Amino acid sequence: MIKLGHTAVGLAVLVAAAAVGAPHDVGAVVFCARKKNAKVVTVRGTACKKGETSLPLPLETGPQGAAGRDGAAGVNPMSAARLPFLRARPTVAATLDEARTAAPKNVLLEKGPFRIYGKCFRATGSNEMAIGTYIETTTDGAVFDSRQDGLAGGVDSTAFLNADTAEVDREIALESVAPPPSASFANDDASDLSAVAADGTWLRGFTFQGASRGSLRYTGVYDSTEGCFWGGFVVAGP
């Protein structure tokens, strides 16, 4: 029960108050007590009727809360980035590892110490072709997780994502492409990622990647008889 002056008013009065007038403006309603029976209170949207007396509404104002802050001590800013749609032809070398090492980094995102990039590569010796998406950092002590690789931290420094972490240990997604004519496409849960750096920079999102070999029925999105593409989005902060 809530008291208005010396009159006890039930919960029904509060429900009626929400139904009459503007619910966010207490001044839009009037509480009216019957003169013959002050225990009967009616909430009206304008003024009290004949035979009723208006009741003052006791309002208590609490202390003002702290203002929201933008920065380390309060709310950190967050941004969303649509990764660019990139295409590349495969880098070719004798082995798949040599081709991967020689392949250029097709950069999709740079945020704080993090960089996300893709590589497209093929081996002449084994005729293998692959497409990969990777994450790297310029500062030590970061952690990351994906469906392909993950480094969550531990006693050894190698348990963290560091500046010198081997590329094969920081793959977000890696797909091999069958001999031509064939194609590969991976997205959704297969390529999600999360990463947090020591300075508080964080990433959360997903990438997609596709690769083709040989003459397909439709070149379409592949745009080549032998090539790769990437895209996706990332939410990041601070």
Q: Where are the domains of the chain?
A: 2-55, 79-237
Please, are residues 202 and 143 in contact by the beta-carbon 8 Å criterion?
no
C-alpha–C-alpha distance, residues 144 and 172, integer Å:
9
* In the chain, % of residues over pLDDT 70: 74
Question: 3 in helix, strand or coil?
Answer: strand
Question: 179 in helix, strand or coil?
Answer: coil
231 against 6, higher pLDDT: 231
Q: Is the pTM of this model over 0.75?
A: no
Q: Could you tell me which of 217, 224, 117 has the C-alpha nearest to residue 172?
A: 117
* R_g (Cα) of the chain, nearest Å: 32
C-alpha–C-alpha distance, residues 5 and 143, integer Å:
60
Q: Predicted confidence band at 1 (pLDDT cuts at 50, 70, 90)?
A: very low
Check residue 39 and give its pLDDT. Answer: 67
**Sequence letter at residue 184:** S
Q: Could you tell me which of 213, 125, 225 has the C-alpha nearest to residue 175?
A: 213
Could you count the other beta carbons within 10 Å of the beta carbon of residue 5?
14
- Candidate ranges 15-24, 49-58, 168-177; pick with highest mean pLDDT: 168-177
Separate counts of helices (H) and strands (E) for the chain: 2, 17
Q: Predicted confidence band at 48 (pLDDT cuts at 50, 70, 90)?
A: confident
Average pLDDT, rounded, for the chain: 79
C-alpha–C-alpha distance, residues 222 and 217, integer Å:
11
C-alpha–C-alpha distance, residues 128 and 195, integer Å:
30
Give the residue-averaged pLDDT of 185-192.
Answer: 68
Q: Could you tell me which of 62, 130, 56 has the C-alpha nearest to residue 90?
A: 130
Cα 34–chain centre separation: 56
Q: Predicted confidence band at 171 (pLDDT cuts at 50, 70, 90)?
A: very high
Q: Predicted confidence band at 58 (pLDDT cuts at 50, 70, 90)?
A: low
C-alpha–C-alpha distance, residues 204 and 109, integer Å:
12
Give the residue-averaged pLDDT of 155-177.
Answer: 95
Q: Could you tell me which of 95, 217, 115 has the C-alpha nearest to residue 163?
A: 115
Q: Locate tokens 């090492």: which residue? A: 101
Instruction: Tell me: pLDDT of 7 over 50.
Output: no
